[in-house]
Structure 1
Amino acid sequence: MAFTLVQLQHFTAVVRYGSFSAAARALGVAQPAISQSVAALEEDLGARLFDRNSRKCTPTAAGLTFAGEAAQILSSVSESREKLRQFQTGKSGRVILGLTPGISNLIGEHLLRHMHETSPGLDVIIVEAFMTRLYELLLEERVDCIVTYGLDRDTGSTRAWALGYEPFCLVGAPRLFARLSCGDTVSIEELSGLPLFLATLSYEEGVGRLLINMARKHGIELDVRHQVQSLSLIRRLLLQKDLATITPIGAIIDELYDGRLQARPMADPAFMYPVQFAIAMHRNFGVIEKAVMNSIITVAQPLLFGSGIWTSTPDTVTCPDARQYFEHATRAPRIRPQTV
């Protein structure tokens, strides 16, 4: 008959405390139970583990050798139980989270810190990609979950939970905004004549499709010069080429803070995009996914909702405040050198 964990616990207690009676008191069990466990263990191993006398038990050479093995077994079992407990509560394991560059810039650092503090055994890997590519990575099972803006296609392949809403803004150099009205928002009509580029791969998806369709609806011509999906090029076009774009403001929050760029939300509610946490349809929404989503919500409350970057309802159009964001953030803005 194979030995049991209880027998190992009783045996190591006798080694530690030096007698059956002391081990029984330490473990809170009757002394006969300790004696029976050790006797059964010796029979199973075919070796005498203690030299017994009236006062104390001294481990034999075999007992000393086995004591080290028993301690390792008990330690391994305890560690395995703790790992399983942490896994069941979402505090251990591995998860690959996909974020858009803007969302990553806003909360990525804070999310990693929060996850490390609340789930130190959970290995969180963040992957950045634009919206279309994030969706593809999710379906290809290259990432486990994503945070992106409204998935408006093939919804049968994903499950999504709304985290909030974010207005897409007209972003450009301050001199471009001199052409616009002094309101807090921008109408679709005010885009007429502005030199634009789209941060999208196609006019047939995302904000590109929305913008083109709304321009047609209102009978206006848009001056779209380029289509770009490169953060470095987006910044260069905005800062150096007198071009504007319609985008979330996360990727250029530092430039908004130092005044090199300005942003105003689009007035039409159609530009209020839902921010969603999504997984593939076949994936279980388990404790790890819940832990990640809860951490995102916790981090977003002061940083994003507190600064107007996200709102809780789609009918509240707010102007994102970069200064409030950095007041809530625990880091200073990353001021980049002026481009000459």
Structure 2
Amino acid sequence: MEINISARDIRAFLAVVNDLSFSQAAQKMHLSQSALSTLIGRLEEAVGARLFHRTTRTVTLTAAGEALAAYADQLLSDIERAVTAVRDIAEVRRGRVAIAALPSLAARIIPRLFRAYGEKYPDVRLSLIDTLSMPAFELVREGRVDFALTAANPAYTDLDYLPLTTDSFVLLMARSHPLARGRGAVRFTDTLSSPHISMSRHTSVRQYLDAAALQRGVGFYPAFEVDHLATIGAMVREGLGVSALPAMAADVIGATGIVRRPLVDPAIRRSIGLVMRRAVPLSAASESMLALLRQQVPDWVS
């Protein structure tokens, strides 16, 4: 049986229960006595029982009325809490935002983003998955995160991509490396005679390097392929090779014992942006996070 009871019906019932007087309850609810009687009648129809015995002088609860009175306060409280929770989420007072991000972006951008967002919306729960580009796209596709902060990948045509900034590649090398002697930019093709320490094939970094080599009509065959920036930094410091990385990834490694030069011919630029599911609206909390990202990322990466 479908039960159609509103919070207003419950409030009207409790007003009569508290005063055992329709006239006094009507005054407190700013209703006419006939309007209050209509509400009580609708409630009685919904529960299928009379709730009050009424005479010209007295109002008393029936057995059904006493049964409802035992639950009415809690029922009204539950309704009010549910409505408040929904409004909190709609107004970004509460809720949850889950983000996937490339490790370099997770280290460079996300901490400042979460701090700035948390100061404005302290009750919103934030979560982060730092992962490589392809898993980040899959997490968005599966709905496990609200969006991903990652490099563009035209293979995922079913997802929306919103560009935010670009990240230029640089060359990292030990101070003893011959290419470290100059001060200016280094031609990408001039680096290929040295062993390269590169991220693995399924990363966006490797895809950009492969494309740059193809653009110059050569192949890119790194001596070492790894998945972690810390490993690349340690191997470069030991003089095991050079590494071409986006500037934000190089920032994570740091400069101790490493020389950094811009890469040119070609200049390799990686687009950084947000990946979202198409035609799936974001929550109010995620929308506010998106607005903060679009506003602040250009300053954070400069």
2:290 is aligned with 1:293: yes
The corresponding residue for 2:166 is 165
Alpha-carbon distance between aligned partners in 1 of 2:124 and 2:203, rounded to the nearest angstrom? 39
Amino acid at match of 1:287: L
Q: Retained in 1: the 8 A contact 2:137–2:156?
A: no
TM-score by length of 1: 0.67
Alpha-carbon distance between aligned partners in 1 of 2:110 and 2:56, rounded to the nearest angstrom? 65
Q: Retained in 2: the 8 A contact 1:176–1:242?
A: no
Question: Which of the numbers 12, 15, 20 marks the counterpart of 2:14?
Answer: 12
Alpha-carbon distance between aligned partners in 2 of 1:32 and 1:61, rounded to the nearest angstrom? 24
Question: Which of the numbers 110, 131, 134 marks the counterpart of 2:136?
Answer: 134
Question: Which of the numbers 215, 236, 239 marks the counterpart of 1:238?
Answer: 236
Report the Cα offset of residue 95 of structure 1.
5.6
Structure scoring higher RCO (CA < 8 A, sep ≥ 6) equals 2
Q: Retained in 1: the 8 A contact 2:195–2:240?
A: yes
Alpha-carbon distance between aligned partners in 1 of 2:164 and 2:242, rounded to the nearest angstrom? 28
Question: Which of the numbers 44, 47, 68 marks the counterpart of 1:66?
Answer: 68
Q: Retained in 2: the 8 A contact 1:86–1:92?
A: yes
1:1-340 matches, cutoff 5 A: 4-5=5-6, 6-15=8-17, 20-38=22-40, 40-41=42-43, 44=47, 46-49=49-52, 63=65, 65-85=67-87, 96-114=98-116, 116=118, 124-139=126-141, 143-151=145-153, 153-176=154-177, 179-183=180-184, 185-188=185-188, 190-191=190-191, 193-201=193-201, 206-216=207-217, 224-251=222-249, 253=251, 255-256=253-254, 259-267=256-264, 270-280=267-277, 283-288=278-283, 290-304=287-301, 308=302
Alpha-carbon distance between aligned partners in 1 of 2:259 and 2:13, rounded to the nearest angstrom? 72
Q: Retained in 1: the 8 A contact 2:210–2:220?
A: no
Aligned residues: CA RMSD:
4.1
Aligned-pair identity (%):
20
Q: CA separation of 1:284/1:2 partners in 2, compared to 1, >3 Å: closer, same or farther?
A: closer
Report the Cα offset of residue 139 of structure 1.
4.9
Q: What SS class does the counterpart of residue 183 from structure 2 fall into?
A: coil
Amino acid at match of 2:159: T
Q: CA separation of 1:203/1:36 partners in 2, compared to 1, >3 Å: closer, same or farther?
A: closer
Amino acid at match of 2:157: G
Report the Cα offset of residue 148 of structure 1.
1.1
Report the Cα offset of residue 228 of structure 1.
1.7
TM-score by length of 2: 0.74
Alpha-carbon distance between aligned partners in 2 of 1:214 and 1:87, rounded to the nearest angstrom? 49
Q: Deviations over 1:76-124 (max 9, x none)?
A: 3333334444555677666643211111112233444455565667654
Alpha-carbon distance between aligned partners in 2 of 1:186 and 1:114, rounded to the nearest angstrom? 37
Q: CA separation of 1:254/1:274 partners in 2, compared to 1, >3 Å: closer, same or farther?
A: closer
Q: Retained in 1: the 8 A contact 2:118–2:124?
A: yes
Alpha-carbon distance between aligned partners in 1 of 2:265 and 2:77, rounded to the nearest angstrom? 61
Report the Cα offset of residue 52 of structure 1.
8.3
Amino acid at match of 1:201: R
Q: CA separation of 1:259/1:18 partners in 2, compared to 1, >3 Å: closer, same or farther?
A: farther
Q: CA separation of 1:189/1:77 partners in 2, compared to 1, >3 Å: closer, same or farther?
A: same
Q: Retained in 1: the 8 A contact 2:169–2:262?
A: yes
Q: What SS class does the counterpart of residue 266 from structure 1 fall into?
A: strand
The corresponding residue for 1:336 is none
Q: CA separation of 1:238/1:132 partners in 2, compared to 1, >3 Å: closer, same or farther?
A: farther
Return 5+ residue gaps in structure 1 as ranges.
Answer: 309-340
Instruction: Give the paired residue count.
Output: 296
Q: Deviations over 1:13-42 (max 9, x none)?
A: 344577545544443333432244335545
Q: Retained in 1: the 8 A contact 2:195–2:242?
A: yes
Report the Cα offset of residue 230 of structure 1.
2.6
